[in-house]
């Protein structure tokens, strides 16, 4: 088998490319006794496992991030509530201080009045009979003496009323103060609860951030390992690519659709359809007669061996890969499902019909996705085929 080595190469290439680029379909390698191929298959299995692992880690990482941001939102809300509670506590403290001052003032007033009253009463008793006698003698008559005595009594009674009033005021202040203090106690309790909640959230966030860090590290490690495997696969493929090139030029694969205007997307182009750069060249549109490309025959760009006929739900859809030797292969994607007229292992000649243009897989309309894979790398098909200007 002239192309046997190349067959293995391309199979592996498609696998490698499919994982990294536009097509996500992973193609199983055909059974082969070739030990290099076995190694590639084993490595590919490992790559597939790593891909799954990375995807799972990515999902987990996203979940962790959303949990962290949720906790941050909750923490912000609680912080806001704590601020409000602090403001309220401050207000209450000021109000309580006011009441404390009021109470002190009332106490002072009471003390002053009490002292005055005591002074008056003392005056009445201390002055004793002499004083009353003096008052009696100094009074014009007995009647005015009694009047003077009444005035003192009235004054004492007024003092007593005043003290009573101050005492009432003080008791009012005290009850207001007690109510404020109970409000404040409530606020203090609320604040303590909020602080507990916040601390809990913060410690949860810290735990989640640690998990996220771990997740990042695991993902980076898996990615590094996968890159290493990719490189190893590429090297094995390079070792395999010893087949001889069939020779000759490559031809445009859809007759009549070979104008510049028939290229709907170039190699390396970026845009909404391609995660990275476009891995091939898209041929679409109409021919000179105005016919659409859908259903038009696809021709082998050069002679070679069919190394893959497959269909995936995404990616290339129905596709065919032909090896032309010399490490060069061509891939034809988005064919009509079941349209390939060739099977794996078939030898084809340049210009032979291999299937029909369709829009299976990841296609936004009928077109042929043409790829040139050379020694493990996708290259611009326009290096090998050319359109009519």
Give me the residues that bind Zn ion (CB under 5 A), please: 280, 282, 369
Q: 171, 106 in Cβ contact below 8 A?
A: no
The CB-of-214 to Zn ion minimum distance in angstroms stands at 38
The CB-of-206 to Zn ion minimum distance in angstroms stands at 47
Distance CA(233)–CA(47), nearest Å, equals 10
The nearer residue to Zn ion, 132 or 274, going by C-beta atoms, is 274
The nearer residue to Zn ion, 280 or 325, going by C-beta atoms, is 280
Residue nearest to Zn ion (CB): 369
Taken in order 336, 342, 345, 351, the sign of the CA dihedral is negative
The nearer residue to Zn ion, 292 or 345, going by C-beta atoms, is 292
The CB-of-380 to Zn ion minimum distance in angstroms stands at 13
Distance CA(63)–CA(110), nearest Å, equals 69
The nearer residue to Zn ion, 340 or 366, going by C-beta atoms, is 366
The nearer residue to Zn ion, 139 or 264, going by C-beta atoms, is 264
Q: 237, 377 in Cβ contact below 8 A?
A: no
Tokens encoding 285: 């549109």
Distance CA(68)–CA(212), nearest Å, equals 9
Strands (E) in 169-208, as ranges, are: none
The CB-of-369 to Zn ion minimum distance in angstroms stands at 3
Burial 78-106 (b: 16+ CB within 10 A, else e): beebbeebeebbeebeebbeebeebbeeb
Which residue from 297, 337, 305 is spatially nearest to 321, judged by alpha carbons?
Answer: 305
The nearer residue to Zn ion, 280 or 315, going by C-beta atoms, is 280
User: 35: Cβ–Cβ under 8 A, 6 or more apart, which residues?
Assistant: none
Beta bridge partners of 335: 318, 357
306 SS3 class: strand
The CB-of-234 to Zn ion minimum distance in angstroms stands at 23
The CB-of-262 to Zn ion minimum distance in angstroms stands at 13
């Amino acid at each position: 088998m002239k192309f046997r080595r190349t067959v293995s190469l391309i199979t592996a290439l498609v696998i490698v490319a499919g994982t990294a680029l536009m097509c996500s379909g992973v193609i199983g390698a055909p059974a082969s006794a070739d030990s290099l191929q076995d190694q590639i298959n084993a490595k590919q299995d490992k790559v597939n496992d790593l891909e799954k692992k990375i995807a799972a880690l990515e999902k987990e990482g996203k979940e962790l991030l959303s949990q962290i941001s949720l906790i941050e939102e909750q923490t912000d809300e609680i912080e806001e509530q704590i601020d409000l509670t602090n403001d309220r506590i401050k207000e209450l403290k000021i109000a309580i201080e006011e009441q404390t001052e009021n109470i002190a003032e009332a106490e002072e007033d009471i003390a002053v009045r009490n002292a005055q009253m005591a002074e008056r009463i003392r005056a009445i008793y201390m002055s004793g009979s002499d004083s009353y006698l003096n008052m009696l003698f100094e009074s014009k008559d007995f009647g005015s003496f009694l009047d003077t005595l009444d005035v003192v009594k009235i004054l004492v009674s007024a003092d007593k009323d005043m003290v009573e009033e101050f005492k009432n005021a003080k008791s009012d202040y005290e009850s207001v103060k007690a109510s404020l203090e109970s409000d404040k106690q409530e606020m203090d309790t609320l604040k303590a609860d909020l602080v507990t909640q916040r601390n809990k959230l913060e410690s949860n966030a810290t735990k989640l951030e640690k998990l996220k860090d771990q997740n990042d590290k695991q993902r980076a490690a898996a990615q590094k390992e996968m890159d290493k495997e990719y490189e190893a696969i590429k090297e094995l493929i390079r070792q395999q690519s010893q087949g001889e090139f069939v020779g000759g030029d490559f031809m445009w694969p859809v007759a009549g659709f070979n104008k510049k205007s028939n290229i709907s997307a170039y190699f390396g182009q970026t845009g909404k359809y391609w995660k990275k750069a476009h891995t091939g060249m898209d041929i679409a549109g109409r021919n000179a007669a105005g016919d659409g490309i859908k259903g038009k025959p696809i021709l082998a760009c050069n002679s070679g061996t069919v190394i893959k006929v497959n269909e995936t739900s995404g990616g290339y859809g129905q596709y065919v890969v032909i090896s032309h030797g010399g490490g060069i292969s061509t891939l034809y994607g988005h064919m009509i499902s079941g349209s390939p007229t060739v099977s794996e292992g078939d030898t084809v000649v340049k210009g032979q019909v291999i299937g029909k243009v369709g829009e299976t897989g990841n296609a936004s309309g009928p077109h042929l996705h043409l790829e040139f894979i050379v020694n493990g790398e996708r290259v611009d098909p326009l290096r090998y085929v050319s359109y009519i200007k």
